[in-house]
Amino acid sequence: MASHDRFRVFGGSPLRGEVTISGAKNSVLKLMAASLLATGKTTITNVPDIADVDIMADLLTRLGCTVIRSQSQVSIDVPQTPGHRADYDLVRKMRASINVLGPLVARVGEAEVALPGGDAIGSRGLDFHIKGLEALGAKAHIEHGYVVAEAPHGLTGAVIDLDFPSVGATENIMTAAVLAKGVTTIDNAAREPDLVDLGEFLISMGANIQGLGSPTITITGVNELKPTTHATIPDRIITGTWAFAAAMTRGDITIHGARAEHLELPLEKLASAGAIVTTTADGIRVRMDVRPQAIDVATLPYPGFPTDLLPMVIALNSIADGHSLVTENVFESRFMFVNELSRLGAQISVDGHHASIEGVPELSGAPVEAHDIRAGAGLILAALVSDGESTIDQAFHVDRGYPNFAEQLQSLGAKVTRE
């Protein structure tokens, strides 16, 4: 995972062919963390081959688990008493590390988790996580760069009203409440499919959870959970990335294993840009023969337009016919990648959380740099529709979320190498 790795892209080829979607990063990492809730061996299938899974495996190993990865499966054997400290050197690499907090407090009665790192997309608070655990009776504070939480006598159910439907906070509260005494209600809960997958995983361990996928989740605590076997849901953001790639390059991609119902709004937006989107027996197909029409988009928590597809929609609008306005409502600094896109000739001005984009017929290849996973993918899509050669530095960001991206792009006819 060398930071000087880069993608080299020669633009101009339409992407045509078939891809198969692997398990969702933002689900599998949470499933792995939640396996801490039961002593014994939990097996997770449909695990993507991405760097973040290795980081979570290292973190769980350090907590005393035996983690075995084979092909698309990971088994996690959890000891009777796992450790309680998640160290900075691992946590800093990945935001999802914070997901061990809820399970550790519930299971071990204490947790020390370094403040997480992850992507450069803006400050990402933990106040909702901490307030939620406190409402369940834990004592929690931040000390020397760690979140320290204690509940030596166990947790007690509570009513928790989130100020914002934070995915991570809903997950940490849910994975703590499953072992709390009594009933917990989370109002204004996140509704993302990844969170529903985590809830179903917990139910298969013996948890009692109602209302998954709705804004109110009700959890009745149980004394003990048992290990389980569970298949990760397909990655909706990778699906969306291929869908945008097909439309932008005027190509034709059949995406096996994709769940169209997890991407209703992005697929509607692509259709209004001029793409032909159809469902197939096991996924979706996206085709495009004409220059895309510009589309206005505002990101919102699910079922709104996903913030993780913001770079893709800006990249598409950069070469679309017309002017568009794209608004980011979830993260404060997601537009940092616009400076990089401008190097390719995109005409974009940013004002606060709005980007105003004037489509140009073609971008022009240049060296650029990825600052986060999705920005990296968006820049690669832009490079595919640029004249000549582009390089995308800091390729490791893309590896965190997209398994074998260069090989998959090559199989669709893109001129891409990884060096």
Shortest CB 162 distance to ligand EPU, Å: 9
DSSP 394: -
How many whole angstroms separate alpha carbon 419 and alpha carbon 366? 16
Q: Which of 20, 68, 142, 164 binds ligand EPU (CB under 6 A)?
A: 164
Is position 95 annotated in a ligand binding site?
Answer: yes
Active-site entry in 52, 119, 372, 393: 119
Is position 330 annotated in a ligand binding site?
Answer: yes
Q: Which of 119, 197, 252, 340 binds ligand EPU (CB under 6 A)?
A: 119
Residues 66-105 that bind ligand EPU (CB under 6 A): 95-96
Shortest CB 130 distance to ligand EPU, Å: 7
Burial class (CB in 10 A: 0-12, 13-18, 19+), 326: buried
Q: Name the residue type at position 331.
A: F
Residues 5-34 that bind ligand EPU (CB under 6 A): 25-26
How many whole angstroms separate alpha carbon 174 and alpha carbon 33? 12
x/- string (CB under 6 A) for ligand EPU, residues 314-333? Answer: ----------------xx--
Q: Which of 112, 235, 308, 393 binds ligand EPU (CB under 6 A)?
A: 308
Distances from the Cα of 44 to the Cα of 48, 225, 239, 282, angstroms = 11, 16, 21, 21
* 161 counts as binding ligand EPU under rule CB under 6 A: no
How many whole angstroms separate alpha carbon 210 and alpha carbon 190? 14
What string of DSSP letters covers 154-200? Answer: --B--EEE-SS--HHHHHHHHHHHTTSBSEEEEET----HHHHHHHH
Q: Which helix (H) or strand (E) holds 147?
A: strand 146-150
Nearer to ligand EPU, 130 or 270 (CB): 130
Is position 308 annotated in a ligand binding site?
Answer: yes
* 241 counts as binding ligand EPU under rule CB under 6 A: no
Please indicate whether residue 351 is annotated as part of the active site: no
CB distance 187 to 163 below 8 Å:
no
Binding segment for ligand EPU (CB under 6 A), chosen from 38-46, 162-170, 336-344, 384-392, is 162-170
Nearer to ligand EPU, 154 or 303 (CB): 303
CB distance 128 to 163 below 8 Å:
yes
Q: Within 13 Å, how many C-alpha atoms sit on residue 336's CB side?
A: 17
Binding segment for ligand EPU (CB under 6 A), chosen from 55-63, 118-126, 143-151, 220-228, is 118-126
Q: Name the residue type at position 190.
A: A
* 135 counts as binding ligand EPU under rule CB under 6 A: no
Q: Which of 46, 75, 307, 318 binds ligand EPU (CB under 6 A)?
A: 307
* 168 counts as binding ligand EPU under rule CB under 6 A: yes
How many whole angstroms separate alpha carbon 3 and alpha carbon 413? 26
Shortest CB 367 distance to ligand EPU, Å: 23
Nearer to ligand EPU, 167 or 263 (CB): 167
Residues 330-349 that bind ligand EPU (CB under 6 A): 330-331
Write phi, then psi, for 222 (nearest 5 degrees): -125, 165
Q: Which residues contact 318 (CB under 8 A, 6 or more apart)?
A: 341, 344, 346, 347, 348, 357, 359, 360, 363, 382
Q: Can you read off the two tokens belonging to residue 214?
A: 């709705």
* 268 counts as binding ligand EPU under rule CB under 6 A: no
Q: Which residues are annotated as a binding site?
A: 25-26, 95, 308, 330
Residues lying near ligand EPU in the complex (CB under 6 A) are found at 25-26, 95-96, 119, 123-129, 164, 166-169, 192, 307-308, 330-331, 373-374, 401
Known catalytic residues are: 119
Q: Which residues are annotated as a binding site for phosphoenolpyruvate?
A: 25-26
